Structure 1
Amino acid sequence: MKQNNTYKIKDILLVIGLFLVVFVIGADSFIISPLLPAIEKDYVITTAQAALSVTIYALCYAVGSPFFGPLGDRFNKRKLLIVGLLVFLVGSLVCAQATNIVVFYIGRAVAGIGAAVTMPNIWATVGGYFTDKKLNTVMGITMSALSLSIAVGVPMGTLLSQLSNWHMAFWGSILLTLLAFVVLLLVVPNLTGNQKELKYLASFQTLIKSKKALLSLSVNLVWMFGFYLIYTFLGTFLNQNFHFNTAQTGNIFIAYGLSNFIASFCGGQLLSKIGAMKDVILNGFLSIIFILGLVISQNHLWGIIIFLILLALAQGLGVTALTTYIVGVVPDKRSTVMSFNSSFLYLGLTFGSLIGAILYSKVGFTGLGIISAMALGVAIYQTMRLKR
């Protein structure tokens, strides 16, 4: 980050722009969970069929990211962000007007591809523009937009759905995407890639040869699988166990989102003090404890809210630390590395939502919670190996 006043203003505007883009895509990603019961009812489908919309979005994101990631190491990241956001906008438009579940699936797929182009280049832009402690701080602030999207974007979407129907949540997302697009055009600088030619194989080989990169990416995969295994079905559980409507379910997500936002926003300070790996290990252990707390207190609403808030704090701190570590593993291939990071993250989401949909009717919230805790235990073990 530059040290004169002019550049400080530009840097602040850049962070605001990136924050807004992450917020918009995050809101669209997370809003599905509280809307699942309404989607089931509207299309007259099962929970598993409704949850498939989460899986399709995540799968398109996960498969698309490795193909789009190396583009950022070769071409202008600003232009890629613009293209990605436009594709994402088209997907949201399809979802907003979908009259049947198949069209809705298609919209989620297109939105997933748009997110796959956009998000890796967001993290690569942060990693390429900021350094040292400022990188830790800015990464935490930017990632906190995902949390704020849960705290503000998701309840906003559920409120809109209550006023009319769940389609209104996507119309709200479209308006925010247009706003983010305008800001993006104004504040994001031209950051050209450091490669003269686009060589997918060479970029992938560099990543494969880095044991640290592969192991840290696998931590992200298992971590996200464990988390989304239980998070995806939180809205369904609240609806079934407490007979909550969409708006009431959205209010629970406010508590989670605000807590996660605070942890992510301030996570850079803790990260600078204790280091990334210790941060991940500590908050991984705490996440296990809090997930088991959710299981134990599942019939008591206040117990669920308390443990959900604690889980949000641990997740915000842990995931920020992990992402900050990964962005610096292979500095000259940041876009490629972060595209695989996004891919592994959404593969975790894909497997979590898919396997959760299969198991939920069989093992219930308790079973999903236990499996989730076990997965995070594996992620902690992998992190300890990485630390050594």
Structure 2
Amino acid sequence: MNIKNFSIVTGLFLGVFVVGADSFIISPLLPQIAQDFHATISQTALGVTTYALCEMIGATLFGPLGDRFSKRKLLITGMSLFLGATLLCAIATNLATFYIYRAAAGLGAALFLPNVWAFIGSYFNGQLMNKIMGISMAGLSLSVAVGVPLGSFLSQLSNWHSAFWASAALTVFSLILIIAIIPNTTAQNQKISYLVNFRNVFKAKNVIHTLLLDFFWMFGFYLVYTFLGSFLADHFHFSSGKAGLVFLIYGTANFIAASTGGVIMNKLGRVKSILFNACASLSFRLALGLFSNSILGLIIFLILLAFSMGWGVTAISAYLVTLSTQNRSTLMSFNSSALYLGLTLASIAGGLIYQGLGFWILGIISSFSYAIVILLIKGLH
């Protein structure tokens, strides 16, 4: 990789990292935010739902923009909106305004993330694209390994607001790098309407199957992950700092997996890599629920799950970005919509299930979601 490509990847990696950190930061902080706003865990989890819902809707609406205009400008605009919303989250004083600010952050992320994946797919090719996709996806994993525990530790030193101040500071640094490093691009479909972009995407071979399996993959993931911090606090009486250590272990393993995802794909192929890791995720999710009474067992299966997740999600994104080369931004916006639809439904359903039936049921239901993923992979050809 030459210096120019390395600089581009660095800028994208950091941008994905800060957006990812903000996406995941609420999980270990839910108990503290709920206490501060005099709300229940399920009510506070609506902050996750609001963010996800706005990113899901926003990604669908913004998707064709990347096929019509410069991806660089859209990356800068999305990151700027995200920065402003994150600053507002840091000064939120009640649950209602917190929801509003999280919604704005979701819209910024909706404009930014799909264009990251679309830019990678259009700027890089072949095995190099697999490698770059893996490195960039590792930004999300690093956000779990470093961003989330950092937010937990900052909340211990001060309060949960500090986590958002730190996120805003990192966003400023990332935005400066993106402005300085990412090259301008010329869109190929400036005269094509929104509806034609949507039609072209859904007519492409295997797109619907892949988006559906991505939805069920993310639903199964977030069903457990969103409430992991709450479970550690309720069942093991962990502080947010101790819970942060668990997220650090998971995130580090996931970061290693995502960083090497391109190597796995180049050896197995993208579809086989998705299938292998879906089967592994099913097994580890089920074990995660069954061994939820043992902190050692919980951590062991979290590590195993992190590897299957890191390799699997990277393979899905790398496969999907090749399916509609003329409409990559629109296609990857639907990928984000599928992801955050899974997060939205998981946070709603998971809150009810967690409070009513317990954490281990979340693991079992998550396993059924991965069984559906495996069936959908069989339909790829």
Conservation of the 8 A alpha-carbon contact between 2:274 and 2:316: yes
Establish whether residue 174 from structure 1 lines up as the match of residue 172 from structure 2. no
Aligned residues: 381
Establish whether residue 234 from structure 1 lines up as the match of residue 257 from structure 2. no
Conservation of the 8 A alpha-carbon contact between 1:70 and 1:198: no
What's 1:349 paired with? 343
Match of 2:358, SS state, is helix
- Farther off after superposition, 153-162 or 171-180: 153-162
- The equivalent position to 1:132 in structure 2, one of 126, 131, 151, is 126
Q: Output the CA distance in 1 between the equivalents of 2:347 and 2:46.
A: 8
Q: State the AA in 2 paired with 1:267.
A: G
Q: Output the CA distance in 1 between the equivalents of 2:61 and 2:289.
A: 39
- The equivalent position to 2:365 in structure 1, one of 356, 365, 371, is 371
User: 1:102-142: CA deviations, max 9, x gaps?
Assistant: 01001100000000000000001110110000000000000
Establish whether residue 77 from structure 1 lines up as the match of residue 33 from structure 2. no
- The equivalent position to 2:378 in structure 1, one of 367, 374, 384, is 384
- The equivalent position to 2:31 in structure 1, one of 34, 37, 44, is 37
Establish whether residue 307 from structure 1 lines up as the match of residue 312 from structure 2. no
Conservation of the 8 A alpha-carbon contact between 1:56 and 1:108: yes
Cα distance, 1:208 vs. partner?
A: 2.0
Distance 1:91 1:198, change over 3 A: farther
* Structure 2, unpaired ranges of 5+: none
Identical-residue share of aligned pairs (%): 51
Q: Output the CA distance in 1 between the equivalents of 2:241 and 2:186.
A: 44
Q: Output the CA distance in 2 between the equivalents of 1:360 and 1:158.
A: 22
Conservation of the 8 A alpha-carbon contact between 2:220 and 2:367: yes
Establish whether residue 261 from structure 1 lines up as the match of residue 255 from structure 2. yes
Conservation of the 8 A alpha-carbon contact between 1:23 and 1:145: yes
Q: For 1:61-100, list aligned pairs within 5 A.
A: 61-100=55-94
User: 1:308-354: CA deviations, max 9, x gaps?
Assistant: 00000000001100110001100110000000001110101111111
Q: Output the CA distance in 1 between the equivalents of 2:350 and 2:190.
A: 44
Conservation of the 8 A alpha-carbon contact between 1:72 and 1:193: yes
- The equivalent position to 1:159 in structure 2, one of 136, 153, 166, is 153
Q: Output the CA distance in 2 between the equivalents of 1:130 and 1:79.
A: 19
Q: Output the CA distance in 1 between the equivalents of 2:203 and 2:124.
A: 26
- The equivalent position to 1:27 in structure 2, one of 21, 29, 54, is 21
Conservation of the 8 A alpha-carbon contact between 1:77 and 1:190: yes
Establish whether residue 205 from structure 1 lines up as the match of residue 205 from structure 2. no
What's 1:193 paired with? 187
Cα distance, 1:196 vs. partner?
A: 2.6
Q: Output the CA distance in 2 between the equivalents of 1:369 and 1:295.
A: 4
Cα distance, 1:357 vs. partner?
A: 1.0
Q: State the AA in 2 paired with 1:111.
A: A
* Structure 1, unpaired ranges of 5+: 2-7
Q: State the AA in 2 paired with 1:340.
A: F
Conservation of the 8 A alpha-carbon contact between 1:157 and 1:169: yes
What's 1:222 paired with? 216
Conservation of the 8 A alpha-carbon contact between 1:81 and 1:121: yes
- The equivalent position to 1:360 in structure 2, one of 332, 354, 364, is 354
Q: State the AA in 2 paired with 1:160.
A: L
What's 1:5 paired with? none
Q: Output the CA distance in 2 between the equivalents of 1:155 and 1:303.
A: 20
Cα distance, 1:210 vs. partner?
A: 2.2
Conservation of the 8 A alpha-carbon contact between 2:205 and 2:323: no
What's 1:123 paired with? 117
Q: Give the TM-score taking structure 2 as reference length.
A: 0.99
Q: Output the CA distance in 2 between the equivalents of 1:70 and 1:127.
A: 15
Match of 2:114, SS state, is helix
Cα distance, 1:383 vs. partner?
A: 0.8
Conservation of the 8 A alpha-carbon contact between 1:238 and 1:249: yes
Deviating beyond 3 angstroms after TM superposition, the runs of 4 or more aligned structure 1 residues are none
What's 2:11 paired with? 17
Conservation of the 8 A alpha-carbon contact between 1:62 and 1:343: yes
Cα distance, 1:47 vs. partner?
A: 1.0
Cα distance, 1:211 vs. partner?
A: 4.2
Conservation of the 8 A alpha-carbon contact between 2:67 and 2:190: no
What's 1:248 paired with? 242
What's 1:145 paired with? 139
Match of 1:222, SS state, is helix
TM-align CA RMSD = 0.9
Q: Give the TM-score taking structure 1 as reference length.
A: 0.97
